[in-house]
A and B are shown apart, each in its own frame.
Chain A
């Protein structure tokens, strides 16, 4: 009896782990045949490891990648890492084992990728970074990095603040909701923002905590900020979702978001743009997730062995409340 049970458990676990490794891949056998150095003819198979679905931005990004892969005739093996680096490393390893033609991924954190990227390089599979960079000295580990310039985004947010408060002389108290600790957008949006406002001593960041890019955490952290710092003038959130959570906290405290506390966020997802148009957010720096088409172009080029620039920046803008009202109806995400 006991033997039979343990055999059953083992079988169950094996099935689970196999399912986890396969991650959506009934086509793995097919791609095995036409693999190798990723030669010219035949369809391209791309392994894509997504960070997770932590925000509306990310889901728009996922959709864009999936749809444009379909449109470009590229077989996509999609894997969701649920915000965990170990899951991403596992996914990339399994892509290498399945010998896909090209690997693309958005690194959940900046560091710790050298080993697994070397494995991909040794297997002669080109790697494209999307949306987030890795912090590695060896730039031959990946072909190109397609994504936004987060430092620039932080700077844009800071510039708006400096402009908005140019006539104010007293101290401006700022609280900051950071993204996932250690992630490139959190590090860079913080650095770019700090660089611009650092030029004027009246701007003071009185509290800065991580909200993990999620609404729930954004709300919880903002509630605590409101209690421990009664005099907050400005909130800078590293993404819309944390800002939206914080808005609920501010309203719960009996204050008016957008007036009592000015709010700057980054991303410009639909819910965020709606709040901007409603006057609850004051300024949004866009960070476009629709990089699927660009990614597929790059993938085709690197598989053919063509030269691609080491850095491709996505086209982005900023929105004020008036601009948000105009473009709200045409936003795709």
Chain B
């Protein structure tokens, strides 16, 4: 759990900063039959990022990376909205969109595991081509749909709780169960540690890799449905733009190593929440738009530095304090999420 300490501290600090500017920041009320408040907003708008980051976590755990998730987000929303605008049922539209996402993810997995292309190159192909595909589906237009049922996915509520948050909880629960209660998580980490050694040990490395890319694309697909459903429209150009970078950042903040071999689902969720809280903070404390990116960069730099054991050691030593017990061996201890 120690590994999650620092991200948690940063999240609490960010939330506290908000209270300083907006005293009612923590208040949650029931309005129009659903929960209402800044914290709910963070969860709601953070839900797509959490989903994408969850998929990314498993991909990164195998030592890979998926740059195409942003494009998959756009494709999923575009296809669903196109179907609905052509009078297809919401379930058909959602199933078609998610089915296409699975195919795209399997394609990524095939390029990486089957052909052996480096993940960053293999997924770069879909990142570029996928944007084009999304624009092809929408015809470069913004498709607006009027479907109450579709709106529920990203903008609706169930038992006063935002529906998107429930989806995230379900996906998180299933993923945590599969990877932490069953052997799957260990297999993924093993493949990330050394794919060839794992194969020789009897693990189907290729199948595992194919699966994590398909899972990442499926998560991105659900996130895409949420984003487009929230505003009842599909925007092939802007939906999910740069979300892959936010997702990778969330995974890294959460303490998952980019080298693969270990991962932390809880850390990823914390990381994604930090990023969304940061965005909300920018709006509520009124950082001028011109300096927003700089502000975010400073916070992210601080988060990354504070997470680094060697930096902490140096910083503390310079102040003449006793260094904390050497964290060198702690890194190797595997912590369950």
From B116, B227, B284, A216 is in contact (CB under 8 Å) with B227
A216 surroundings in chain B (CB, below 8 A):
227, 230-231, 235, 238-239
Asked if A224 is an interface residue, CB under 8 A from chain B, the answer is: yes
Instruction: Pick the contact of B235: A5, A16, A209, A214 (CB < 8 A).
Output: A214
Which residues of B lie under 8 Å from residue A55 when comparing CB positions?
142
A53 at the interface (CB under 8 A from B): yes
A45 within 8 A of B: no
- The answer to whether B237 and A52 have CB atoms under 8 Å apart is yes
A147 to B283, CA, bound (A): 31
Min CB gap A278→B, angstroms: 13
With contacts A56-B142, A271-B144 known, is A224 near B238, CB below 8 A?
no
Q: Closest CB-CB distance, A26 to chain B, in whole Å?
A: 17
> Nearest chain-A residue to B282 (Cβ)?
A209
Within 8 A of B (CB), among A224-245: 224-225, 227-228, 230, 241, 244-245
Cβ-defined contact, B36 with A54, below 8 A:
no
Instruction: Known contacts A16-B128, A227-B37; decide if A53 and B135 are in contact (CB<8 Å).
Output: yes
B128-155: contact bitstring with A at CB < 8 Å (1 yes, 0 no)?
1101000100101110100000000001
Chain B residues touching A, range: 35 or more
In the complex, chain A residues whose CB is within 8 Å of the CB of B285: 228
Chain A residues within 8 Å of chain B by Cβ, number: 45
- CB-contacts of A1-56 with B (<8 A): 5, 8-9, 12-13, 16, 20, 52-56
Q: Map CB proximity to A onto B238-272 as digits: 1 under 8 Å, 0 otherwise.
A: 11010000000000000000000000000000000
Q: Say yes or no: is B5 at the interface (Cβ < 8 Å to chain A).
A: no
Q: Decide: A225 and B283 in contact? CB cutoff 8 A.
A: yes
Interface assignment of B233: CB less than 8 Å from any CB of chain A: yes
* Residues on B with beta carbons closer than 8 Å to the beta carbon of A294: none
Q: Are A219 and B230 in contact (CB under 8 A)?
A: yes
Q: Is B125 an interface residue (CB 8 A)?
A: yes
**A184 to B312 CA separation, bound complex (whole angstroms):** 44
The CA of A190 and the CA of B295, in the complex, are separated in Å by 22
The dominant DSSP class at the B interface is helix
Q: Collect the chain B residues with CB atoms within 8 Å of residue A9's CB.
A: 117, 121
Contact between chains at A223 and B41 (CB < 8 Å): yes
CA distance A54 to B74 in the complex (A): 13
User: Which residues of B have CB within 8 Å of A173?
Assistant: none
> Does B238 contact A54, Cβ atoms closer than 8 Å?
yes
B32 at the interface (CB under 8 A from A): yes
A59 to B141, Cβ gap below 8 A? yes
**Nearest chain B CB to A55 CB, angstrom units:** 7
CB contacts under 8 Å to A, within B101-119, are 115-117
- Whole-angstrom distance between the alpha carbons of A175 and B129 in the complex? 38
A5–B36 Cα distance when bound, in Å, is 53
B238 and A228 form a contact (CB under 8 A): no
Instruction: Name the residue among A12, A182, A212 with the largest chain B CB count within 10 angstroms.
Output: A12
Partner of B231, one of A181, A224, A248: A248
Q: Mark B286-299, 1 if CB is under 8 A from A, else 0.
A: 10111010000000
Q: CB-nearest residue of chain A relative to B45?
A: A220
Looking at B21-29, B166-174, B199-207, B213-221, the stretch in contact with chain A turns out to be: B21-29
Assembly CA distance A227 to B38 (angstroms): 6
20 more CB-based (< 8 A) A-B contacts, given A62-B140, A215-B235: A5-B115, A16-B125, A16-B128, A56-B141, A80-B135, A83-B237, A83-B238, A181-B292, A208-B288, A216-B227, A216-B238, A219-B231, A224-B41, A227-B41, A228-B283, A228-B285, A230-B24, A248-B231, A254-B36, A271-B144
Q: Which residues of A contact B (CB under 8 A)?
A: 5, 8-9, 12-13, 16, 20, 52-56, 59, 62, 80, 82-83, 178, 181-182, 207-210, 212, 214-216, 219-221, 223-225, 227-228, 230, 241, 244-245, 248, 252-254, 271
